[in-house]
Chain A
Amino acid sequence: MCTRPEDDDTPMTTILSLLLVFLSTSRFHIEFIQVLSIGDDITTWLSNVQCISFLPDGSLIVSDKLDYQLKRLDKYGKLARAIGKRGSKPGEFRGPGPNSFHGGTIAVADFSSPRIQIFTDDFRYQYSFRALGPVFDLCFDARGDLWVGVQTHDKSNELVKYHVTGKILQTVALHNTTGGMFEDIYSMAISRSGFVVIAYIVQNRIEVWDTLGRFQREFSVPGLRQTPPTRVYSTGLFSERLKVPEGNLFWSIALDQNDRLFVLGADYSEHPGQDIYVLNLNGNILTTALLPMRSSHIWISPDGFLYSTVQERTVIKKYRLKYRGM
């Protein structure tokens, strides 16, 4: 029997996908009600927010890359503490990148670097270790193990589970990594129920694993193209040519308390940086929602608020999620 290879971007498939989205998203709607805006007044100055994690008292740990500081903002958004400056010594950063908090420990990776620094929740430096490659995302699971997305250009070990001391516990061979420079970058979130969710930035693929490193399933967001178009660049006449995607499909993902997956659409969504696709972990789309402002990243706090960075990552918006029609 001969089968035709799937072409996800044919007009008919796109129409069917959009129809599917329409039919499946008519069940409930989400409204975003802004409750706080941080960084748009002189009291709290933010340069380039790379990541946010949440402390139990409602305060935020913010990686401010262009200010080279790790900042603690209280629950009202006021700057409570900041540490760091540009450098490579303990407590210094070349630009703080992804961070995560668990049980009194904060892990912070340097921007585009393998160095991960561990701090206490009152910002005392503990120690640091080096991951297998530059870190583009990290997240603690419920047991306190650190899941790290690294760029190793080896498709078999671009998701690594570390003990908080830096010892490698497990490497996971993801299903859609290629070893490429852009294709393997992903956003990661870990659910309370123990699922590790991976959404590739330039591939319309979402993978679900459990925290023991066992593959569960993978799916796509319907109605979106599979990959962005690419352009070939060369830095010099006789240098190697580089295939660079023209834009991203997704910016980031977040999981709420009910294991609903929020995916922030990027350049190929109808409203880039504003469309949020809400799916369950079986890959069924539940609804789509529209953020009030174009955003670069989203997070959901343990108490259910959605945070996003806007205005080129200089402002953090906090929204209450209002579900209607459920």
Chain B
Amino acid sequence: MMSLENHGINVSTKGASSLAVSARVFRYVLGVLFICAGAAKIPMLNSLASTIVSVTHCSLGFSWVLALLTVTVEIAGGVALLLRYNVQAAALILCIMTAGFLWILSSAILQGMEILCNCFGILGINFSNRTELILDLFIFNSLTFIAWTSSRRTFRSPKHLRRERLYGIVTFIVVIYVEFGLVQLALERPRGIELVPLQPAIHFAEMHSRGFAASAGRPRALFLLSLNDFNCPPCFDDFVLLCDSLTSSLTVWDDERVVALVRPDNPIASGGRTRLEEWARATGIPFPLIAAPDTLFSCLDFRKSLVSVIGSSGKVILRHELPLGVANRGTIVKYLLR
């Protein structure tokens, strides 16, 4: 068997070629995957930015920078892998980014939360956070493998090579053991709250408000309210302050871009249109309040009053339960002003 010692790799030709073939396959697969994922995110940068805001609590402006950076790294890294341009550097940068995703996903799973990450943008592929975690671990390992196989090897003595192999095997076993432990831990955790699609509520609001339906091509906001939640002071304050912000920011209300569906679990909400209108008048709510049937809230697995922003594409780009906090109130108004 021919030796590759003159290339610095002291393995058999068969072993070297199988490693090289595996690395090439991983490069092509991951290159295509990252380009697709990055490109699919471009039309949904809004959603990605809002996901970053909800996870990191950073400002909307900074989240846009992070979103753009993510998309750029994914596309550029994918192209570099495909074209075999600076493969090691590209694989390492993508590795660092994937490590960030792994950190966020594992934190979410350990805290019993479920993040809607919009990782595949307009492709609409939404895995659960556990599946995402396992997928990202696979990608992380593959990128490490690509970076390792693409590193330049200088001539080493057989003794050094044996030691390097030993270190490599030990590192591989430790990494796999740690990753296995992490996956086990994640799979044993109870599932986070899955986000139920709001489409039935949007459809109901469009049926009962012509203005809301007519402004479908523009950003809209939909509230789902239970007046009983207003016994919680921050929830009440946030709702009222958001109404104030909307009143002062959006001057034209005839297009009814904001609608609230109210659950009939409170005498005001269940006491007929007059009582609800009276409450809206006293509170200074400028948008329509619609008493929706309890069955609608049940099918949405409704737990707490929330506000959602529907983008011009008709997809929910932001969804937050009360209380919102100052930053989220500002984000909602900014989205609606676009």
**Using a CB–CB distance below 8 Å, which chain A residues touch chain B?**
45, 47-48, 66-69, 85-86, 94-95, 111-112, 134, 234-239, 241, 311-312, 314-315
Q: Which 6 A-B pairs have the closest CB atoms?
A: A112-B233, A314-B267, A237-B55, A312-B266, A311-B267, A236-B57
Q: Is the CB of A94 within 8 A of B240?
A: yes
Q: Residue among A234, A237, A238, A311 with the most chain B CB within 10 A? A: A237
Shortest Cβ distance from residue B232 to the other chain A in the assembled complex, whole angstroms: 9
Q: Is the CB of B240 within 8 A of A67?
A: no
CA distance A111 to B236 in the complex (A): 10
User: Which secondary structure dominates where chain B touches chain A?
Assistant: helix
Q: Residue among B57, B113, B233, B323 with the most chain A CB within 10 A? A: B233
Q: Is the CB of B228 within 8 A of A66?
A: no
CA distance A45 to B325 in the complex (A): 32
Answer whether residue B47 sits at the interface, using C-beta atoms and an 8 A cutoff: no
Interface residues of B in 242-288 (CB under 8 A from A): 266-268, 275, 278-279, 282-284
| 17 A-B pairs whose Cβ atoms sit less than 8 Å apart in the complex | A47-B268, A66-B227, A66-B268, A67-B279, A67-B282, A94-B237, A112-B233, A112-B234, A134-B233, A236-B54, A237-B104, A237-B115, A238-B107, A312-B227, A314-B267, A314-B268, A315-B267
Give the nearest-CB partner of A50 in chain B.
B231
Contact with A along B89-123 (1 / 0, CB 8 A): 00000000000000010011001010100000000
User: Which secondary structure dominates where chain A touches chain B?
Assistant: loop
Q: Is the CB of A95 within 8 A of B282?
A: no
Q: Is the CB of A85 within 8 A of B282?
A: yes
Instruction: Please give the number of chain B residues whose Cβ is less than 8 angstroms from any Cβ of chain A in the complex.
Output: 29
Knowing A85-B282, A311-B267, A314-B267 are in contact, say whether A238-B57 is a contact too (CB < 8 A): yes
CA distance A134 to B325 in the complex (A): 17
**Using a CB–CB distance below 8 Å, which chain B residues touch chain A?**
54-57, 104, 107-108, 111, 113, 115, 227-228, 230, 233-234, 236-237, 240, 266-268, 275, 278-279, 282-284, 323, 325
Q: Is the CB of B57 within 8 A of A239?
A: yes
Q: Out of B56, B111, B266, B284, name the residue touching A234 (CB < 8 Å).
A: B111
**Contact residues in B for A315 (Cβ distance below 8 Å):** 267
Q: Is the CB of B236 within 8 A of A112?
A: yes
Shortest Cβ distance from residue A75 to the other chain B in the assembled complex, whole angstroms: 24
CA distance A316 to B272 in the complex (A): 20
CA distance A234 to B111 in the complex (A): 8
**Contact residues in A for B233 (Cβ distance below 8 Å):** 111-112, 134
**Contact residues in B for A314 (Cβ distance below 8 Å):** 266-268
Shortest Cβ distance from residue B291 to the other chain A in the assembled complex, whole angstroms: 15
**Known contacts A47-B268, A86-B282, A237-B113, then 17 further A-B pairs from the complex at CB < 8 Å, ordered by chain A residue:** A48-B230, A66-B227, A66-B283, A67-B282, A95-B236, A111-B233, A235-B323, A236-B55, A237-B104, A237-B107, A238-B56, A238-B57, A311-B267, A312-B228, A312-B266, A312-B268, A315-B267
Shortest Cβ distance from residue B151 to the other chain A in the assembled complex, whole angstroms: 34
Q: Is the CB of B283 within 8 A of A68?
A: yes
CA distance A112 to B284 in the complex (A): 19
**Contact residues in A for B54 (Cβ distance below 8 Å):** 236
CA distance A311 to B265 in the complex (A): 10
CA distance A315 to B267 in the complex (A): 10
CA distance A68 to B240 in the complex (A): 12
Shortest Cβ distance from residue B101 to the other chain A in the assembled complex, whole angstroms: 12
Shortest Cβ distance from residue B269 to the other chain A in the assembled complex, whole angstroms: 9
CA distance A69 to B279 in the complex (A): 12
